Amino acid sequence: MQLASDNHSYGCRKLWQLLRLQGYIVNKKKVTRLYRKHQLYLRLKHKVRIKRIKQSLAISNVPNQIWSLDFVHDKLDNGRKIKALTVIDEFNREIKTVQVDSHITSIKLTKILDEIIFTHGIPEAIRSDNGPEFISATTQQWAISHRINWIFIQPGKPTQNAYCERFNGTLRREVLNTHVFSSLAEARLIINAWADNYNNYRPHDSLGGLPPILYKQKFMQHNRDKFVYF
């Protein structure tokens, strides 16, 4: 009992091996019997996550309807790993944010989303893959409290998050693969400057050659009677 208490992560086989190493001659079946009798089964902690419901893929046809998000990984010149949270509006590919840090937990993720909502308003839905930060109870409770429909793509099918995947490819090709960052501060400065140019000046083929902000402005002007609440 004491041996099991001191090594609570060991199963009966490991305890039997430990006894043998300590010079005890004991039958493995006897160790198993005592293990079960005293209920020394391994107690594993399970993460509490909200059950996800499969949903059909929705298409965004107005601003602020569906945001999609994902993570992009990179390294500083000293080898330190960094990650960038990218959030875009699927309607006009507008970058809502590119948050760069060494790690982003589900708690930090919800705080970032709160900051975006404060500036841009609440989307109807958010689309993502099944990453641990997205499926966590913290993130899903946040979505419920904000009445946001969280859309999960099917595992192994990144094309269902095509807008964000394509954007991440552009970010990597135009920024991450062309710069060697010496610090987080430098990475944030360069990426944020690029994001501002992307939103306001960079022409986008799928938007008729317009940058995201100008495309949204023209859409709002053309539909101002229908979407006065924006």
Question: Model confidence at 4, in pLDDT bands (50, 70, 90)?
Answer: low
* Closest listed residue to residue 167, CA positions, set 205, 134, 140: 205
Q: Which residue has the higher pLDDT, 49 or 17?
A: 17
Q: Which residue has the higher pLDDT, 29 or 218?
A: 218
The DSSP element (H or E) to which 3 belongs, if any, is helix 2-6
Query: Is it the case that residue 25 has pLDDT exceeding 80?
Result: no
Angle made by CA atoms 148, 47, 39, in degrees to the nearest 5: 155
Which string of b and e fits 194-216 if b means at least 16 CB within 10 Å?
bbeebbeebebeebeebbbbbbb
Which sequence spans correspond to the domains of the chain? 2-37, 66-222
pTM: 0.73
Q: Which of 17-21, 56-60, 181-185 reaches the highest mean pLDDT?
A: 181-185
- What's the CATH fold of domain 66-222? Nucleotidyltransferase; domain 5 (3.30.420)
- Looking at residue 154, its pLDDT comes to 87
Query: Is it the case that residue 41 has pLDDT exceeding 70?
Result: no
Question: Model confidence at 61, in pLDDT bands (50, 70, 90)?
Answer: confident
Query: Is it the case that residue 155 has pLDDT exceeding 90?
Result: no
For the segment 197-209, the average pLDDT, to the nearest whole number, is: 91
For the segment 79-93, the average pLDDT, to the nearest whole number, is: 95
Q: Which residue has the higher pLDDT, 179 or 40?
A: 179
- Looking at residue 229, its pLDDT comes to 46
Average pLDDT, whole number, for the chain? 84
- Looking at residue 47, its pLDDT comes to 54
- Looking at residue 158, its pLDDT comes to 82
* Closest listed residue to residue 167, CA positions, set 75, 94, 61: 94
